[in-house]
Structure 1
C-alpha cells in the first residue's frame, strides 16, 4: 500500500479524522477541538493507499511554526505514519522563509515520540482539553 502525505484544502476530511481521534476517542469537547486557526492554518493529510489515515496542521506565528491537531487513526498507529506526518510538517515549514522554529504541544504520554524526532520539552506540564501536555520545540 502506498503512503503519501500532502498539503490539502480538504478541511472536511481533516476534521473528520480529528473528530474520530480527539472527540470520539479522547473525549475532547468539540468546542475545544475546532477553532478559528483552522481557517488560516496549513493542513496536511496522510493517506495509506486511498484511505485518509492522519492529519496535522501548521499555524504560523512569526518565526514559529506550531504543529498541532496531529492525529493518526487507531488502525495505523505504530506504522510510522505519525513520524512521517511530523517530518512532512517540518518540510513544509522549511519552505516558509521566516519560520525557524517548530513548536508543538505534546500529550505527555507522547514525549518520547517527539523527542526521537528532535523536539525538546520546555516549561511546566499543563492541561489542554483535560489532557496533560508539555510544550516542545526544535530548530528547523
Structure 2
C-alpha cells in the first residue's frame, strides 16, 4: 500500500479537504458546521493524504495555521473506511514537518480526550482541559518523536 500526501494553501482547490471534513467531522462526529469550515481556511496550510499510486482517492486531511511563531493544528479527519492504515499518522507528520521547516518551535492543538493517545505518540503533552471532553495539547520540536529514531542500548 502506497501512501502519498500533498500540501495545499488556502488559495488552492480545497474541495477534497471539505468533502472529507464534512463526511467525518459533521456527518459522523456531529461537530457544528461553523467549527469545521471557518475564515481560517484561506490562511491555513492543509494536507490531503491519498491511498494508492495515482493519488486516485483522498482519504485524510488536516491543517495547520501559522501566525508568527505560533502554530495550531486541527481538523484532522480520516474517512471511516481508511482508518487503521496510518493515514492520520501520515497527515500529522506532514503538517508537523511543514511547521518545523517554517521555523515553528511549538505546535498547539485541541482534541477530544479519547483521541489524546493518538497525539501523544508524536510527543504532544496535555496542558489544559477546556471542558469535560476537550484537551489542549502542546508539542515542542525537541519532544517530537518521528518514530524513526534508534533507542540507545
Tell me the TM-score normalised to structure 2 length.
0.83
- Residue 10 of structure 1 deviates from its aligned partner by 2.8
CA distance in structure 1 between the partners assigned to 2:86 and 2:36 by the alignment: 24
Q: Deviations over 1:22-72 (max 9, x none)?
A: 110011121221110001100110001121000011101222211111000
- Tell me, which stretches of 5 or more residues in structure 2 are unaligned? 142-153
Is 1:74 equivalent to 2:80 in the alignment? yes
Structure number, greater radius of gyration: 2
Is 1:17 equivalent to 2:20 in the alignment? yes
Aligned equivalent of 2:48: 45
Tell me the TM-score normalised to structure 1 length.
0.90
Aligned equivalent of 1:33: 36
CA distance in structure 2 between the partners assigned to 1:135 and 1:63 by the alignment: 18
Query: Alignment partner of 1:32: what SS?
Result: helix
Say which structure is richer in helix. Answer: 1
How well do the aligned residues superpose, as a CA RMSD in angstroms? Answer: 1.3
CA distance in structure 1 between the partners assigned to 2:129 and 2:35 by the alignment: 21
Q: Deviations over 1:83-110 (max 9, x none)?
A: 111111111111213x111111111111
Give the length in aligned residue pairs. 135
Instruction: List, as ranges, runs of 4+ consecutive aligned residues in structure 1 with deviation greater than 4 Å.
Output: none
CA distance in structure 1 between the partners assigned to 2:20 and 2:94 by the alignment: 18
